[in-house]
């Protein structure tokens, strides 16, 4: 189920209708460096492919995993995040947090089965107009090669991206990634700086956990499922699923829908009739 | 909420103005087609195209149309918001539409100018961009800017030439100024210098009047042997604690802050044999020797430029060192103020005749005249090294080893010419062929590669003066953290905009001038200081500041008081209130959105850049049309 395998079928081919498929790319650019760099690129008349659509934010640090994963969920083939070079951030430390957030986004894309190459973080200064055009050219070519995102054609991928989005919004991941930069540079409440490898390990494990739980909720929202069925669809051991289910039941996020023989079938609890 | 904006229940009425920008957009995008498409989009009540939207008639057209069609949100699709948003926002406000109900769509820099050869695709992209703008505009909300009172007092950090000039300018405008200096007297780096360029007065004589004026000014409170210990607050309302040597910290309230902490010369440890021989010194040590009248008798002096700069210890060119070397070289060559410390008595004792200055000057003039005639060209004096035998019989032989001479500006170029007339030799070296300073039998010599002759040469010298760059103050990082202002990669303070805002910081209320922003000479420091003082006086004179309504807002019902936002905010614009819930200090918030993206409970919204607005805009890009 790799994307490359998929690309072999769809890349550069005509898709539904007579229009030749073109990648759709969204760029989130910070106001002070990258947006200005894109402006200079225009002023200098450096040409690049027309696929990218740019959205201005004040700082790249504003680009939360939710923004990116939701836009991927809506069918974007590629997303570019542009910020100031490290140590040149208009808001001093904003882009250091961006880096950490992008790490999380990449982790989540990985588990959701989306090629990480579809997300690109670039530092483009206000004076790097030419660099901006190069980045967009390269990125567009790369997306051409990767082919269309499977979000719109594969329900499982769609569910996984939605789960990744939900996971990114959990308290645990947001708090961990939000504090990551300060934990590594300033230290924790006791002034101890954390070992980067150890912290990465903690975040990796948390990402996997939260993603799996979010995916269980996503799948059991679509139709009630047993532990065994979930294990099969998600391709992970049933004891892991069971552990997640126990926790989700404690949090009143999932409940037994009905038994099938002796096997309980679970359904996600939705609030306010949300489907 | 201002009366002139619609209530939530009313359907938005969006006006779209698409600009041809002459042929800048119109030449590469089918503007008529884009306008026609815009009028079909949801909630668009009116769409039109203008040749120049930013021209008088374009702006009037917006104002009239707002009234005529009862528009409550405006989209201009033209150039870049970075230059033109304020203009259109003012136009909207003049017609009674809140400036936060305005959306900019960039069709020029981000479309027509970068897709000049694909009109069809560029037109499609322009339609998409307008659709994105409309999607965003539908979710906009009017915002009110907060007004904050300003304490009409300033703080100037650093009592050198820049700091004194800034303090004096503000004091003369009538504002009380607190001037903090870490040394026990005013004057800064210049005080340690001996002579300055283009003036026969000593460095101390030159800055004396400035120090006297500061000392005498009733509006200036000096805090000597002191430092800034802590800073709390935001523009208009800073609580600053000034610590002194062993003294109780003094608390002062100020409205604006000027950073003028200067720079220090690099210590070239490990470079060019520094410290290996008493004759190898830095240019600042040379000044000290001159001041103390301890300079030994010299026959031959070598300056080595860029010692530690431009790729050695620091990456940048320190700009001022060439001029410093030129100044010192002239002084040595002229023996001005008897810089070499040889008094007539001493000379008589040693049985040496002191040259009559007039005769020396005459000889110099003749010498240079001869040389000019011989060469018939100007700057090629760099080749002078090949003519060691041609050194004047009197005076001292001065050689300036340089990568290139940075004598920028009219005056400095004249001084450079003057140095050459004084027969100072300028010898070039390449970055891969640094001059080598060695000691042979207790005597100094400089080995170098002669670029013209393409051969290695050696030159015996009495003294090697290393022109080291100015580097950032070692405690700049501490101050930068206290004030929440950035340092650049070289450790100097970084201004808000390299061209347009050279003395502002991105943080409102804090300003910068002088060598703490990068190497600067006295004249430059004085102009920057005057500029910074003028900028810092604006909020003081107004008595209030208007804070942009791009801030974070905390939903108290969602906030659990985890404090992550307080940790990540680079401006301390968030704090926990008495109930342990986060609250935003709107005047301190710069709207970066870090807290919003971080908040684990999703309790923080960024006004004007909400998730809803950004997602609507981004997802609109993906729609199939």
Same domain, B461 and B574: no
Same domain, B186 and B235: yes
Same domain, B240 and B197: yes
Question: In this structure, are residues B447 and B436 in contact, taking their beta carbons and an 8 Å threshold?
Answer: yes
- Predicted confidence at residue A17, as pLDDT, reads 52
Please tell me if residue A211 touches chain B, with a CB cutoff of 8 Å: no
pLDDT class of B253 with cuts at 50, 70, 90: very high
* Of residues B409 and B384, more confidently modeled: B409
Comparing A176-185, B56-65, B394-403, which segment has the lowest mean pLDDT? B394-403
Same domain, B223 and B324: no
Interchain proximity B615–A87, CB inside 8 Å:
no
pLDDT class of A7 with cuts at 50, 70, 90: very low
Q: Is B527 inside any structural domain? A: yes
Q: Is B623 inside any structural domain? A: no
Same domain, B559 and B442: no
Q: Is B613 inside any structural domain? A: no
* Of residues A244 and B200, more confidently modeled: A244
pLDDT class of B342 with cuts at 50, 70, 90: low
Average pLDDT over residues B503-531: 95
pLDDT class of B438 with cuts at 50, 70, 90: very high
The Cα–Cα gap between B398 and B391 comes to 9
pLDDT digits (tens, 9 = 90+) for B347-373: 444 444 444 444 444 444 444 544 444
Average pLDDT over residues B31-45: 97
Same domain, B482 and B585: no
Spell out which residues of chain A touch residue B619, defining contact as CB-CB under 8 Å. Answer: 70-71, 74
- The CATH number of residue B572's host domain is 3.30.70.20
Q: How far is CA B34 from the centre of its chain?
A: 42
Q: Is B619 inside any structural domain? A: no
- Predicted confidence at residue B379, as pLDDT, reads 43
Boundary of a domain, candidates B470, B485, B510: B470
Asked if residue B83 has pLDDT above 90, the reply is: no
Nearest to B503 by CA among B485, B522, B490: B485
Q: Which of B569, B597, B604 is most worth mutating to test chain A (most A CB atoms within 10 A of its CB)?
A: B597
Spell out which residues of chain A touch residue B127, defining contact as CB-CB under 8 Å. Answer: none
> What domains sit in chain A, N to C, each tagged with a CATH number?
3-149 (3.40.50), 170-268 (1.10.10.10)
Q: Is B615 inside any structural domain? A: no
Q: Is B624 inside any structural domain? A: no
Burial profile B9-38: b = 16 or more Cβ within 10 angstroms, e = fewer:
eeebbbbbbbbbbeebbbebbbbeebbebb
Boundary of a domain, candidates B451, B470, B489: B470
Same domain, B461 and B479: no
Boundary of a domain, candidates B83, B114, B143: B143
From the CB of residue B372, how many other CB atoms can be counted at a distance below 10 Å?
14
The Cα–Cα gap between B81 and B86 comes to 8
- The CATH number of residue B537's host domain is 3.50.50.60
- Predicted confidence at residue B583, as pLDDT, reads 95
Q: Is B215 left (phi over 0), alpha (psi -120 to 50) or beta?
A: alpha
pLDDT digits (tens, 9 = 90+) for B581-598: 999 998 889 899 999 999
Same domain, B283 and B372: yes
% chain B with pLDDT above 90: 75
Interchain proximity A43–B567, CB inside 8 Å:
no
Average pLDDT over residues B14-26: 96
Q: How far is CA B139 from CA B101, B103, B416, in A?
A: 9, 11, 63
Comparing A106-110, B534-538, B548-552, which segment has the lowest mean pLDDT? B548-552
Q: Across the interface, which of B106, B485, B598 has its CB nearest the CB of A178?
A: B598
User: How many angstroms away from the CA of A116 is the closest CA of chain B?
Assistant: 19
- Predicted confidence at residue B373, as pLDDT, reads 46
Q: Is B49 inside any structural domain? A: yes
Same domain, B208 and B306: no
Instruction: State the total domains in chain B.
Output: 4
- The CATH number of residue B81's host domain is 3.40.50
Burial degree of B490 (CB within 10 A; 0-12, 13-18, 19+): middle
Please tell me if residue A150 touches chain B, with a CB cutoff of 8 Å: no
pLDDT digits (tens, 9 = 90+) for A138-175: 999 999 999 999 999 999 999 999 999 999 999 999 99
Q: Is B120 inside any structural domain? A: yes
Same domain, B400 and B419: yes
Q: Domain range spanning residue B347?
A: 267-470
Question: In this structure, are residues B304 and B401 in contact, taking their beta carbons and an 8 Å threshold?
Answer: yes
Same domain, B198 and B315: no
Mean pLDDT rounded to a whole number for chain B: 89
Same domain, B378 and B400: yes
The dihedral built from the CA positions of residue B276, B282, B285 and B289, taken in this order, carries a sign that is: positive
pLDDT digits (tens, 9 = 90+) for B607-625: 999 999 999 999 999 998 7
């Amino acid at each position: 189920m790799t994307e490359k395998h998929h690309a072999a079928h769809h890349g550069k081919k005509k898709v539904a209708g007579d229009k030749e498929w073109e990648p759709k790319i969204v760029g989130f650019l910070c106001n002070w460096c990258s947006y200005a760099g894109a402006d200079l690129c225009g002023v200098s008349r450096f040409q690049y492919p027309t696929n990218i659509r740019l959205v201005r934010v004040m700082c790249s640090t504003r680009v939360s995993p939710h923004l990116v994963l939701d836009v991927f969920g809506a069918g974007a083939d590629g997303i570019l995040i542009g910020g100031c070079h490290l140590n040149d951030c208009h808001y001093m430390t904003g882009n250091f947090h961006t880096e950490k957030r992008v790490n999380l986004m990449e982790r989540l894309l990985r588990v959701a089965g989306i090629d990480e190459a579809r997300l690109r973080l670039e530092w483009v200064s206000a004076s790097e107009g030419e660099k901006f055009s190069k980045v967009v050219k390269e990125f567009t070519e790369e997306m051409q090669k990767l082919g269309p995102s499977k979000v719109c054609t594969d329900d499982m991928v769609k569910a996984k991206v939605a789960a990744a989005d939900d996971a990114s919004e959990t308290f645990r991941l947001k708090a961990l990634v939000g504090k990551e930069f300060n934990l590594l540079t300033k230290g924790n409440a006791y002034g101890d700086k954390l070992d980067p490898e150890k912290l990465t390990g903690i975040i990796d494990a948390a990402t996997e956990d939260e993603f799996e739980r979010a995916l269980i909720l996503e799948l059991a929202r679509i139709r009630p499922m047993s532990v065994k069925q979930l294990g099969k669809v998600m391709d992970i051991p049933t004891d892991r699923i069971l552990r997640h289910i126990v926790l989700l039941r404690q949090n009143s996020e999932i409940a037994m829908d009905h038994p099938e023989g002796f096997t309980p079938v679970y359904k996600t609890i939705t609030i306010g009739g949300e489907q | 909420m201002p009366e002139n904006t619609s209530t939530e229940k009313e359907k938005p009425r969006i006006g779209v103005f698409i600009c041809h920008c002459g042929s800048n957009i119109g030449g590469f995008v089918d503007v008529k087609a884009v306008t026609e498409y815009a009028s079909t989009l949801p909630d668009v009540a009116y769409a039109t195209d203008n040749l120049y939207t930013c021209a008088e008639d374009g702006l009037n057209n917006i104002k009239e149309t707002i009234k005529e069609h009862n528009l409550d949100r405006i989209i201009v699709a033209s150039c870049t918001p970075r230059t033109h948003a304020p203009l259109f926002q003012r136009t909207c406000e003049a017609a009674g539409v809140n400036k936060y109900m305005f959306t900019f769509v960039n069709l020029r820099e981000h479309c027509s100018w970068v897709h000049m050869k694909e009109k069809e695709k560029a037109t499609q992209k322009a339609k998409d961009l307008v659709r994105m703008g409309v999607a965003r505009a539908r979710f906009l909300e009017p915002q009110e800017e907060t007004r904050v009172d300003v304490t009409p007092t300033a703080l100037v950090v650093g009592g050198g030439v820049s700091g004194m000039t800034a303090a004096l300018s503000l004091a003369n405008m009538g504002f009380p100024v607190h001037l903090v200096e870490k040394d026990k007297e005013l004057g800064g780096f210049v005080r340690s210098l001996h002579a300055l360029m283009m003036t026969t007065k000593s460095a101390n004589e030159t800055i004396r009047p400035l120090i006297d004026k500061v000392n005498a000014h009733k509006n200036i409170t000096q805090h000597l042997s002191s430092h800034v210990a802590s800073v709390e607050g935001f523009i208009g309302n800073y609580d600053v604690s000034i610590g002194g040597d062993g003294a109780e910290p003094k608390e002062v309230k100020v409205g604006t802050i000027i950073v003028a902490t200067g720079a220090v010369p690099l210590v070239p440890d490990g470079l060019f044999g520094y410290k290996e021989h008493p004759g190898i010194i830095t240019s600042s040590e040379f000044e000290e020797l001159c001041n103390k009248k301890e300079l030994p008798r010299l026959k031959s002096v070598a300056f080595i430029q860029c010692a530690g700069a431009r790729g050695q210890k620091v990456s940048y060119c320190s700009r001022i060192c060439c001029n410093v070397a030129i100044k010192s070289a002239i002084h040595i060559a002229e023996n001005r103020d008897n810089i070499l410390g040889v008094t007539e008595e001493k000379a008589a004792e040693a049985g040496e005749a002191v040259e009559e200055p007039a005769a020396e000057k005459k000889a110099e003039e003749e010498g240079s005249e001869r040389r000019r005639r011989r060469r018939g060209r100007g700057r090629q004096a760099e080749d002078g090294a090949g003519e060691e035998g041609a050194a004047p019989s009197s005076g001292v032989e001065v050689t300036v080893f340089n990568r290139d001479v940075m004598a920028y500006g009219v005056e400095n170029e004249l001084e450079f010419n003057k140095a050459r007339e004084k027969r100072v030799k300028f010898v070039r070296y390449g970055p891969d062929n640094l001059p080598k300073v060695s000691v042979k039998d207790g005597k100094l010599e400089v080995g170098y590669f002669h670029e013209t002759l393409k051969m290695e040469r050696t030159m015996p010298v009495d003294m090697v003066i290393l022109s080291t760059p100015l580097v950032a103050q070692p405690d700049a990082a501490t101050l930068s953290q206290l004030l929440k202002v950035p340092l650049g990669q070289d450790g100097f303070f970084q201004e808000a905009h390299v061209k347009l805002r050279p003395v502002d910081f991105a943080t409102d209320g804090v300003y910068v001038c002088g060598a703490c922003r990068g190497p600067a000479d006295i004249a430059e420091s004085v102009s920057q200081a005057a500029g910074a003082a003028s900028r810092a006086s604006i909020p003081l004179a107004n008595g209030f500041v208007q804070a942009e309504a791009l801030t974070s807002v905390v939903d108290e019902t969602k906030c659990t008081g985890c404090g992550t936002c307080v940790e990540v905010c680079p401006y301390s614009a968030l704090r926990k209130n008495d109930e342990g819930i986060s609250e935003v200090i709107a005047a301190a918030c710069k709207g970066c959105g870090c807290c919003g993206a971080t908040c684990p409970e999703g309790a923080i919204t960024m006004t004007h850049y909400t998730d809803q607005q950004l997602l609507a805009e981004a997802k609109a890009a993906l729609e199939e049309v």
